[in-house]
Amino acid sequence: MSIEKTIWPGSTQLAPSPVVLVGTGDGKRRPWDIMTAAWAGTLSSDPPMVGIGVRPSRFTYDQIEALQCFTLNMPTAAQARAVDYCGVISGRDTDKFSTQGLTALKASRIVAPIVEECPVSLECEVKHRLDLGSHVLYIGQVVAVQVTSSLIDDKGRLDLAKADLLAYAHGHYYSLGADLGHFGYPVKKK
């Protein structure tokens, strides 16, 4: 019995995606700023590499072009409203940290800020830049990770249930649902 399929033109249907606050600037000549992005993903393990797509019209684009670094801050479900705001309002006109009650901290290895209230922040140095059309892809090496200490479990790992990370799919924000198992479980069961 075959399953009926509908064929659409190509579009951005891959889901879910992460949703991150991209931190840029140096807090001196270029103000610290955050922008929401969902066009992001891990692309390689060793060295750890992430990619983000940024429209050239964005303030974040100017900031990354100038300083060649950014942070990816993973927000919680409780921060969904602030995350949405930071995707709509431009940092050219507004200090989004202060309007959203978020705190910019200097990262450990780069000049860009991390968001103190986000449970996990990745500090990234740009290694590649590729013009893809509407968005420029920046590929960054993750040079450090900052985690809220109270969310680290007794095995030294981020407790994801406590972190309550946000996901993005087809225009909506979601919390993560049921944990369905860990990688390699059918093999391990044998």
Nearest to 67 by CA among 38, 106, 98, 100: 106
Nearer to a second copy, 111 or 144 (CB): 144
Q: State the nearest-atom distance from the C-beta of 16 to a second copy, in Å.
A: 5
- The CA distance from 38 to 164, in Å, is 17
Task: Burial-class residue 14 by CB neighbours within 10 Å (0-12, 13-18, 19+).
Answer: exposed
Question: Minimum CB separation from a second copy for residue 144, in Å?
Answer: 6
Residue closer to a second copy, measured from CB, 30 or 174: 174
CA angle 183, 115, 73 (to 5 degrees): 30
Q: CB of 166: closest distance to a second copy in angstroms?
A: 7
Which tokens belong to 4?
Answer: 């009926």
CB of 63 to a second copy, least distance (A): 19
Q: Which is nearer to a second copy, 30 or 49 (CB)?
A: 49
Does the N-terminal peptide bond of residue 47 adopt cis geometry, omega within 30 degrees of 0? yes
**Structure tokens that stand for 90 in this block:** 């431009």
Return the number of the residue (111 or 152) whose C-beta is nearest a second copy.
152
Query: CA 190 → CA 56, 156, 179, 185, 186, distances in Å?
Result: 51, 28, 21, 9, 7
Decide: 96 and 90 in contact? Cβ < 8 Å: no
Of 30 and 109, nearer to a second copy (C-beta) is 109
Kindly tell me which of 93 and 150 has the beta carbon lying closer to a second copy: 150
**CB 29 to a second copy: min, Å:** 26
CB of 53 to a second copy, least distance (A): 4
